[in-house]
Amino acid sequence: MPEAVTGRLFQSYDRHAESIGSSSQGRGRCDRDVADRRPDMIPSIVVHPAYQAVLPDGHRFPMRKYGRLAETLAELGLAPSGFVRPEPADAALLKRAHRSDYVDAVLSCSVSREIEREIGLPVDGSVVARSCASAGGTLVAARLALDHGLAGSAAGGSHHARRETGAGFCVFNDVAVAALALQEEGAIRRALVVDCDVHQGDGTADCLAGSPDLFTFSIHAEKNYPTRKIPGDLDVGLVDDVDDAAYAAVLGAHLPGLLDGLSPDIVFYNAGVDPHMDDRLGRLALTDAGLAARDRYVVGEARRRRIPLVAVIGGGYATDIDALAARHAIVFQAMAALA
């Protein structure tokens, strides 16, 4: 991630502090309703320079989107007090969601070739650092959401990582780690995971299977990866080429009832942008406007009920990195508009 961005935008996070300290930052493009708000009214965004790992040239995972997203969020004026820099997750934290031997193998960069192939990323020092930073970032963002109502991490949503292994570009399941940690320490009793990534959240379902008060809701393309899905609490598989209106109707038929019936202490929102019509690994047909409507709807439904919400960015695999970063920024714009 560009040092020019991270150097001027990071602020350390003190979970007991009244507020995040301010830092100077120029603004670029910005919606008027966001620009007119006081800095303390705009939800905090968690970013770590390790979010963007180093991959071999030509790798199909669009790793550069993380650095570009940080730049885009700054240009949009969405981090007027700077980004929040998290502490990476340590082994003890990661083992709340994952088997001990798997965590140890990852942290020592000694996973088997079979597991590395299933993950689809080289499990080296850079990717391990990214995975730990992402898990720590989601936990910090969740704490901020509990304190202030809304917050997000500019990474996360690694929902294919299961208890015993990683898969599908996911090493550690950051949402499961954060939800289990908060529940075990008594910060929450019940959580709802709203997973709108185009791929079913099989890993999150696996990691949270033994925790009935941590409810998973996945809305995804049924014929997409993973082929063998691990059932969650509520899985809604969509046919190919579902458009904005049809997607909104399905989401609207399920989300309000879940929020009212569960009354969760927090919502973990995976705002993956791979349902977009131009995504290489999606099978749906949402537009940018459809993604924006989706994000405003999910955030708005939580806000109406005064339920804290933490957003993670999930998947997105378009080849145009600028367009992809702009798409990932939509959920942060939605939170800022509705804060």
Amino acid 316: pLDDT:
98
Query: Number of helices (H) and strands (E), helices first, in the chain?
Result: 12, 9
Q: What is the side-by-side order of every strand in the sheet holding 266-270?
A: 10-12, 83-85, 44-46, 150-153, 309-312, 266-270, 191-195, 214-221, 234-238
Reading phi first (left if > 0) and then psi (alpha if -120 to 50, else beta), residue 274 is in: alpha
pLDDT in tens, 62-100: 999 999 999 999 999 999 999 999 999 999 999 999 999
Strands 150-153 and 309-312: parallel
Residue 21 covered by a domain: no
Which run of H or E residues covers position 148? Answer: helix 125-148
Amino acid 41: pLDDT:
82
CATH number of the domain to which 66 belongs:
3.40.800.20
Cβ(134)–Cβ(172) below 8 Å: yes
User: CA 166, 269, 138: angle at the middle one, nearest 5?
Assistant: 60
Q: 272: domain range? A: 3-13+31-338
Residue appearing with tokens 């080289």: 122
Cα–Cα distance, 193 to 183 (Å, whole number): 14
Structural domain count, the chain: 1
pLDDT in tens, 211-261: 999 999 999 999 999 999 999 999 999 999 999 999 999 999 999 999 999
Residue 230 covered by a domain: yes
Cβ(34)–Cβ(73) below 8 Å: no
Give the Cβ contact number of residue 338 at 10 Å.
18
Residue 79 covered by a domain: yes
The pair phi, psi for residue 35, each rounded to 5°, is: -60, -30
Residue 105 covered by a domain: yes
* Burial of 108: CB neighbours in 10 Å, binned 0-12, 13-18, 19+: exposed
Instruction: Give the global pTM.
Output: 0.90
User: CA 182, 188, 142: angle at the middle one, nearest 5?
Assistant: 55
Amino acid 312: pLDDT:
99
Radius of gyration over every alpha carbon of the chain, rounded to an integer in angstroms? 18
Amino acid 1: pLDDT:
53
Residue 256 covered by a domain: yes
Residue 22 covered by a domain: no
Residue appearing with tokens 């007991």: 16
The pair phi, psi for residue 32, each rounded to 5°, is: -60, -40
Residue 289 covered by a domain: yes
Residue 23 covered by a domain: no
Cβ(141)–Cβ(154) below 8 Å: no
Amino acid 37: pLDDT:
61
The list of the chain residues with pLDDT below 70 reads 1-39
